[in-house]
Amino acid sequence: MTEPGMAEITEPYYEALARGELLIQHCKACNHTIMYPKHRCPFCFEADLDWVTVSGRGILHSYTITRLTAPSGFEDETPFALGVVKLEENVQLLARLWPDADGGWDGYACDVPVEFHPVSADEARRRPVAWFRLSAR
Amino acid sequence: MSTAAPASDTEAAFIGIGELPSGRYPDRSFIGSLVDVAVAAVRDAGLTMTDIDTILLIPCLHSAADQADLVFSRVVEELGLNGRAKSNAMVHSGGSTSDNTVRAAASLINSGHARHVLILQAEKWGSAPVNEMIDMLTANGIPREWEKATGLSFNAVGALITQRYMAVTGSTAQDMASVCVALRDWAILNPNAMYRKPLSVEQVLGSRMISDPLHAFECPMMADGAVGIVLTSAGEARKSHDAWVRIAGSGGVVSHYSIGQEADLGVLGWPRAAREAYEQAGWGPGDADLAEVYDSYTAVLTIAMEGLGLAPVGEAGRLFAAGEFSPGGRFPVNTNGGLLSAGHTGVGGGTALLAEGVRQLLGHAGPDRQVPGAARAVCGGSGGTYMDSQVLLLERVTR
């Protein structure tokens, strides 16, 4: 799936998701956090980057529940929800949203607190994407 | 303080427009469409084809083979310009392509690299298999490593923007649906529009939910369409035209590539892009007579209008509901019906809006929808996942 030259930045991220962790990149030269992962730091352009585990806490900037017109391969999963999450670490990402206890997403709204929701290794390998749920706080 | 430069003979002038109706026209060929709008635009400009020395192409999304034909000068041969054309090239930034193409054309003219530029666009989205086009859009223009596995679709991108806009502004579902109704009311007046039957807020809200909060009627329908635009220098225009259209100001911001990296989905890049353009033009939103702004989803339009200063922040949706931007309202917006009712012709949706702005300022929009005395138009475009906010401020000039 990943082109060869990209594996060095995709594989650590994907493998962490399979372990139930969410990593973001960090620039050792200028100390910025970086998302999405890159080959060079977009602030200082050094290539000396490592990974840090995040708190998993964030704010849901926006979200949607896709019911129709899903891309191929996702037709059987509708409805499903995705949203843009702003993490405490001052980076953001597009993520899947875990359903509420009632199986829907009625509890979700813009600007509510959310937290990283680890999924099974099989699921994370099938679809290497972070999931979030409503914050327990 | 105004930084507007005085109009000069070397600055670019729009002098001609050609357009085919948008919709589903499976029997209309791609190359044939390009030739038809080329001929129409060149005639409208009062030129002959051999006056054209530069062709700038707006890409198509329906076919890689047709796209390659554009890049490799098929149009030059079809128009009999072999050995005469100086340059055939493509500019591409998705939905904002026409804005960037016009900038390129204006720069070529102003610097003397081109004399008469023909901009051409054609798209066959309406006749293409819908599922293939959805997959093509999903495969391209979103980060495959970081976002594709979420199941993101373009309708979901529009939904993320609309959800944020509604949450921040308190705009209701009725307010957002009324944007579609206003656009439809304009489309009814445009013989080239795809949808010309009246539409009600109830119909919009009664249509199927696609990706919350977007209903089916709030998602654009893919259409076939074609547009040609001719630009020359003001000095050339003055020789044979009583009126032409100049670019008074231009501004732009590229705010993201990935939708997940947009800092504020309810604002995007519009405020800074607009400030830059108005400063260059030396006039402001209150001086405009109409606007033609990218509208592939309702909030894409309301957010842009607020950033462009055409509505108070947070109020555009409610003002649409109040009829301010409909035919007969206070301020005409998207007088061709926009992408949501005239049809989403891929990269060409923005081209059709820009062409409509030029047509209005030339006074050629026909009896039903011509804005009386239209002298200044605000044009806005956006591409990809609303990655950029591009502003062109157009002005009518008379000899």
CB of B396 closer than 8 Å to CB of B376: yes
pLDDT of residue B1: 37
In chain B, which ranges are E strands?
A: 12-23, 54-58, 87-90, 117-124, 209-211, 214-215, 224-233, 243-254, 290-293, 376-381, 388-398
Tokens of B95: 């939905």
Rounded Cα gap, residues B277 and B308, in angstroms: 10
Q: Name which of A9, A70, A93 is nearest B260 (Cβ-Cβ).
A: A93
φ, ψ dihedrals at B133, nearest 5°: -70, -40
Q: Does domain B12-128+222-240 have CATH number 3.40.47.10?
A: yes
Q: Which of B147, B211, B254 to mutate to test the interface with A (most CBs of A within 10 A)?
A: B211
Question: A8-12, B86-90, B134-138, B316-320: which has the minimum mean pLDDT?
Answer: B134-138
Rounded Cα gap, residues B22 and B126, in angstroms: 9
Where in chain B are the domains?
Answer: 12-128+222-240
A10–B145: do the CB atoms touch at under 8 Å?
Answer: yes
Q: Tell me if residue B125 falls in helix, strand or coil.
A: helix
B163–A64: do the CB atoms touch at under 8 Å?
Answer: yes
Which residue in chain B is spatially nearest to A66 when comparing CA positions? B211
Q: Average of pLDDT values for A62-72?
A: 95
pLDDT of residue A137: 63
A94–B260: do the CB atoms touch at under 8 Å?
Answer: yes
pLDDT of residue B125: 93
The separation between CA B296 and the C-alpha centre of its own chain, rounded to angstroms, equals 10
Encode pLDDT of B11-69 as tens digits.
999 999 999 999 999 999 999 999 999 999 999 999 999 999 999 999 999 999 999 99
pTM: 0.96
Q: Average of pLDDT values for B127-149?
A: 87
Q: Name which of A36, A110, A128 is nearest B167 (Cβ-Cβ).
A: A110
Which residue in chain B is spatially nearest to A61 when comparing CA positions? B164
| H/E run at residue B280 | helix B270-281
Q: How confident is the model at residue B138 (pLDDT cuts 50, 70, 90)?
A: confident
Peptide bond into A36 cis (omega under 30): yes
Whether the predicted pLDDT of A56 surpasses 70: yes
Average pLDDT, chain B: 96
The separation between CA B375 and the C-alpha centre of its own chain, rounded to angstroms, equals 19
Rounded Cα gap, residues B352 and B252, in angstroms: 19
Q: How confident is the model at residue B3 (pLDDT cuts 50, 70, 90)?
A: very low
B209–A67: do the CB atoms touch at under 8 Å?
Answer: yes
Q: Name which of B134, B152, B164 is nearest A62 (Cβ-Cβ).
A: B164
CB of B40 closer than 8 Å to CB of B18: yes
CB of B388 closer than 8 Å to CB of B380: no
Q: Average of pLDDT values for B235-263?
A: 97
| H/E run at residue B201 | helix B201-206
B interface residues, A as partner, C-beta within 8 Å:
131, 134-135, 138, 143, 145-147, 149-153, 155-156, 159-161, 163-164, 167-168, 208-214, 216, 219, 258-263, 265-266
Count Cβ–Cβ pairs < 8 Å, chain A vs chain B.
Answer: 112
Annotate B346-360 with three-state secondary structure: CCHHHHHHHHHHHHH
Q: How confident is the model at residue B90 (pLDDT cuts 50, 70, 90)?
A: very high
Q: Which domains occur in chain A, in start order?
A: 4-53 (no CATH), 57-134 (2.40.50)
Encode pLDDT of B154-197 as tens digits.
999 999 999 999 999 999 999 999 999 999 999 999 999 999 99
ipTM confidence score: 0.97
Rounded Cα gap, residues B156 and B219, in angstroms: 10
Encode pLDDT of B268-316 as tens digits.
999 999 999 999 999 999 999 999 999 999 999 999 999 999 999 999 9
CB contacts, 8 Å: A77 with chain B:
151
| A42 contact partners, CB below 8 Å, separation of at least 6 | A34
